[in-house]
Structure 1
Amino acid sequence: MRQAAKILGELLTWMVIGLMVVLTTIVIVAVIYRKAGASLSWYDEVASVLLAWITYYGSALAALKRGHIGFDDVLLALPIPVRKVAVVAAEVLVLFFFALLAWAGYTVLTILQGETLVSLTWVPVSLTQSVIPIGAALFIVCELLSLPDYWRMVMAGHSTEHAVMAHDATPENTTRGGGHA
């Protein structure tokens, strides 16, 4: 399971980096065109779609690394039996929400069938909006892949911040200059 998480983490990292490079390039090109007096008609629409894609894929990556905002100090202050219930309840709620989001996103895709972007009429809206069910499904997968390590860590009384610092101190990461993998 750790190998699958590592591969998915690398894939998501490169996807987010790639999307950010494309978005940055489009913004720079659009600024140059605007300064030259020839604004690009499609820039705003494409930039907003790319930003949404970065958000969904980036949130899945953060779920895999357990990097979302949490209340570790409150959770760790609870007795272990209550802590177990709290972790299970929180995970069930998160998984339910993202399953609902995936279903709603898929429903939106069926409604938008045949629609195209306003400025780029050859691009189907269902393609741009497919990030909703795909991102939600990826979030669920990432949450489930990271759950065993998170469970062990929380039951041992460690916060996610502690795990990130311990991860950064491993020899593999110190030889590459630290930081998150």
Structure 2
Amino acid sequence: MVLIDRIRYLLEKLLEVFTIFLLLALTSIVLAAVAFRTFGSSIAWYDEVASIGLAWLTFYGANLAALKRAHMGFPGIVSSAPPALRMALFVLSEAIVIGFFAVIAYYGYHVFEILAWDRLVSLPSISLTVTQSAIPISAALFIVCECLTLPEAWKKMRAGVDSEHEAIEEAIRLAEEDLKENRS
């Protein structure tokens, strides 16, 4: 279990750094494009690169959310179900999520064959396989993130813990601590 926690921690830090890098790069590109347009010029590759950057940020940000089990769901319904139904719902939902991303990874990889000869319009030196690599890579990473968090999620589900309720209680606790510090 210690190895899983270490891998999860390292992957979380890697995804945090990468998504922050993508966010800063995208912000810089947008600001530079605005500045250039303000002075009567424009960057030819801005629209294409910015849209790809936003897609990458979305895909890899979703991986980070998966690693933190922060995606939208229905934990209250699952945790309030009888134990046997709760386990069945949990297994079914995990199978659906992992199966969906396995299909995305498989077909995302096969799209490379179709895009092998295509290039960006504004930057012909960059292949579309590079820009579209986020699809199979992030889909495979999503599966890894789900599997790394599965043991902890299973324990919480078995105990009937509602992760949404748990997060709300934690936020209230932190807000109360903040309030006490501000009053001091």
The TM-score, its normalising length taken from structure 2, stands at: 0.88
Deviations 1:24-80 (Å, cap 9, x if unpaired)? 000000000001110111000000000111111111111110000010111111101
Pairwise CA distance, 1:154: 1.5
> 1:167, 1:104 → 2: CA distance?
40
Partner of 2:161: 158
Structure 2 residue corresponding to 1:66, chosen from 69, 72, 76:
69
Partner of 1:177: none
Mapped contact 1:113–1:126 kept (Cα < 8 A):
yes
What secondary structure sits across from 2:7 in the alignment? helix
The TM-score, its normalising length taken from structure 1, stands at: 0.90
Partner of 1:31: 34
> 2:126, 2:170 → 1: CA distance?
42
Identity among equivalent positions (%) equals 44
Structure 1 residue corresponding to 2:117, chosen from 114, 125, 129:
114
| Count of matched residue positions in the alignment of Structure 1 and Structure 2 | 171
Deviations 1:77-119 (Å, cap 9, x if unpaired)? 1101110000000000110000000011001111100210000
Partner of 1:134: 137
**Structure 1 unaligned blocks of 5 or more:** 175-181
> 2:26, 2:127 → 1: CA distance?
19
Change (3 A) 1:8 1:98: same
Mapped contact 1:117–1:125 kept (Cα < 8 A):
yes
Higher mean C-alpha displacement, 154-163 vs 17-26: 154-163
> 1:146, 1:72 → 2: CA distance?
15
> 2:57, 2:127 → 1: CA distance?
19
> 1:50, 1:142 → 2: CA distance?
22
Partner of 1:99: 102
> 2:67, 2:171 → 1: CA distance?
16
Amino acid at match of 2:81: L
Q: CA RMSD in A?
A: 1.7
Given the alignment of the two structures, is residue 89 of structure 1 paired with residue 92 of structure 2, yes or no?
yes
Partner of 2:19: 16
> 2:165, 2:171 → 1: CA distance?
10
